[in-house]
Amino acid sequence: MLILEGKNIKKYYGERKILDIKNIRIYEGDRIGIVGVNGSGKTTLMNILSTEDNPDSGEVDIKGKISYITQLGTPEDKDMDYKLKGEFKVDYDNRDTLSGGEKTRLKLAEGLSVNPDLLLLDEPTSNLDIDGIDLLTEKLKNFYGAILIVSHDRTLLDNVVDKIIEVEDGEIKEYSGNYSSYKEQKESIRERQEFEYEEYIKEKGRLTQTIYERQGHAKGMKKAPTRMGNSEARLHKSSTRQIQGKIHNTINALETRIEKLNKKEKPKEIHQVKIDMPSVTNLRNKLLIDGDKISKSFGDKILFRNSELKIFNGDKAALLGGNGTGKTTLIKMILEGHDSINTCKNLKIGYFSQRLDILRENKTILENVMEDSIQNETIVRTLLSRLLFKREDIKKNVEVLSGGERVKVAFAKIFLSDVNFIILDEPTNYLDIPSIEALEDVLLDYEGSLLLVTHDKTFIEKIANKIITIEDKSLKVFKGSYKEFIERKENNINFGKEQAEKKLLILENRMSEVMGKLSLMPSKEEKEVLDKEFNQLVKDINKLKGNY
């Protein structure tokens, strides 16, 4: 059953044509992902299909109930399904103080509670933690209606959709399959286009060269020598004319073959973001960050206590945890030099904050990057060009830039400054998928160490070789990839159990020693000290046994 149809949709911003779509149809049971670079018109298309915005021409016919969950919109205080309310943990008394993740959960619960025939979602994983993304994925996989979703989360698109609509140059093109299948198809199509274009150019060049050779041969034919008699001269001239006629016929045939060649256009050049990372120098220390007995609380809320954190040279560590568990707080403690966290002497940290607060709104792109750059202006301009900022763009003030553009300026500012350790807090927010993949490529080649906070599973899997989690008010470390971490977690293998058992053995041995000393009837003062230690040992042992 057809749920939505858009016909001859056109949308302009000023003189710039954003969308020019002849037809788009969504049927019952469709699972469609919308992809495209930043500024291609994905959100504009969603707004038009949901009737939140009107096209300049064309029409949208909706034949069922729809629910539109926007990226930037606010929760609407709608009635919610009791079960969904509990699953998304959105029983909030004061909505004015909600975090970004809590607002997203609330919008998702409200949108799903409507039981729509068509669910439209624009970047629904924004600000969600991994548990929230997993819950959303499960709900979408089990959703009975049609789904149209804009997302830069490749794992979500792979798990949920079975069709991709690409928005490019204002037009749309459909691909069957999930995001990974779409990428393979795109690459295959481009390779075929490049091959066919090269073959066309090669054959056209061969035929053109043959024409030049024939023309040269015709022009080079000699006239009759003066010593020839009249009859011989007439015979020579006639023979030459016949040969030249054949050559011209051949040339005409070759020109006709060129005209009838199946003309192939040169594949459109893909302007991709290219990111350069700083070289790592003067950092030979084995241990870069050493934290011991790390504790932090806000009032009665304990984030973590008596935790350990060690980041070694070569680590590309991902810091994971639910919303509000203290990831950004831990980063601030590292940056501010908290008493419980030591950094090696030569460590120079470049910090990418999700708030992008290293940028000055009233300064231009070039001024922002040059402010902390250890490179000259020529190199700065080159990097900005590789980030797809045109020559005139670098004179724009940051305040007029989009979210994705600001992220790229922040990258440039960090990567051109004097740093040898990088902390990235949600670096994929606002980026389109091609830009995320470009960032992945450069981080894979980066020889230095980094600490990464992100909820993008694909990004974590590609980059991280160490996983640090905040759970049960403690920091836990797993050495290995995200895939290995998940496999062990799903198989209920507690990778801290071995260390806990060793610690338990030490504590129990010490308890035996303390009990032995108490049995020897010590003095009153000694007994008080031993009793105090004994009671603490009992608490520590019970705590370890309770955790494992």
Q: Both tokens of residue 235?
A: 């015979």
Nearest CA to 409 out of 357, 487, 478, 480 is that of 357
User: What does the angle CA 354 – CA 356 – CA 359 come to, to the nearest 5 degrees?
Assistant: 170
Residues 21 and 167 in one domain: yes
Q: Name beta bridge partners: 349.
A: 421
Q: Is residue 281 part of a domain?
A: no
Sign of CA dihedral 231, 233, 234, 238: positive
Token look-up 């496999």 returns 487
294: pLDDT strictly greater than 80: yes
Residues 489 and 503 in one domain: no
Q: What is the pLDDT of residues 343-383, one digit of tens each?
A: 998 899 999 987 888 899 999 999 999 998 888 888 888 88
pLDDT on residue 388: 76
146 — pLDDT class (breaks 50, 70, 90): very high
Q: Is residue 273 part of a domain?
A: no
Residues 137 and 238 in one domain: no
pLDDT on residue 179: 95
Coil, strand, or helix at residue 92? coil
Mind giving me the DSSP string for 15-73?
Answer: TEEEEEEEEEEEETT-EEEEE--TTSSHHHHHHHHTTSS--SEEEEEE-S-EEEE-SS-
Select from 448, 477, 493 the last residue of a domain: 493
Q: Both tokens of residue 484?
A: 């290995």
Q: Is residue 423 part of a domain?
A: yes
What is the pLDDT averaged over residues 405-423?
A: 88
Token look-up 């003189």 returns 15
Q: Is residue 270 part of a domain?
A: no
Residues 250 and 394 in one domain: no
Select from 459, 477, 493 the last residue of a domain: 493
Spatial contact of 384 and 365, defined as CB atoms under 8 Å apart: yes
**Domains in the chain, number:** 4
Q: Mean pLDDT check: name the lowest of 174-183, 224-233, 400-409, 452-461.
A: 224-233
Residues 347 and 451 in one domain: yes
Token look-up 């624009």 returns 122
Q: Is residue 272 part of a domain?
A: no
Q: According to the 3-state scheme, what is the secondary structure of 277-327?
A: CCCCCCCCCCEEEEEEEEEEEECCEEEEEEEEEEEECCCEEEEECCCCCCH
**16-27 vs 2-13, strand pairing mode:** antiparallel
Residues 393 and 523 in one domain: no
Q: What is the pLDDT of residues 483-507, one digit of tens each?
A: 999 888 777 655 556 667 777 888 8
Token look-up 């940051």 returns 398
Task: Pick the more confident residue, 379 or 233.
Answer: 379
Residues 358 and 225 in one domain: no
Report the distance separating Cα 349 and Cα 352, nearest Å.
Answer: 10
Percent of the chain with pLDDT over 70: 89
User: What does the angle CA 107 – CA 108 – CA 110 come to, to the nearest 5 degrees?
Assistant: 65
What CATH number is attached to the domain comprising 408? 3.40.50.300
pLDDT on residue 60: 94
Residues 12 and 58 in one domain: yes
Task: Pick the more confident residue, 172 or 254.
Answer: 172
Residues 363 and 458 in one domain: yes
What is each CA distance from 156 to 151, 314, 460, in whole angstroms? 8, 30, 14
135 — pLDDT class (breaks 50, 70, 90): very high
Sheet holding 466-471, edge to edge: 349-352, 421-425, 449-453, 316-320, 466-471, 474-479
Residues 364 and 458 in one domain: yes
Q: Both tokens of residue 289?
A: 């960050």
Residues 79 and 214 in one domain: no
Residues 76 and 171 in one domain: yes
Token look-up 């606002």 returns 430
Neighbours of 500 (CB within 10 A): 15
Q: Is residue 488 part of a domain?
A: yes
Nearest CA to 450 out of 314, 296, 253, 348 is that of 314
Per the structure, the complete domain to which residue 543 belongs is given by 498-547
Task: Pick the more confident residue, 100 or 222.
Answer: 100
Q: Is residue 243 part of a domain?
A: yes
Q: Mean pLDDT check: name the lowest of 66-70, 98-102, 326-330, 524-528.
A: 98-102
Nearest CA to 82 out of 57, 46, 109, 103 is that of 109
Q: Is residue 275 part of a domain?
A: no
546 — pLDDT class (breaks 50, 70, 90): low
What is the pLDDT averaged over residues 227-234?
A: 61
pLDDT on residue 291: 92
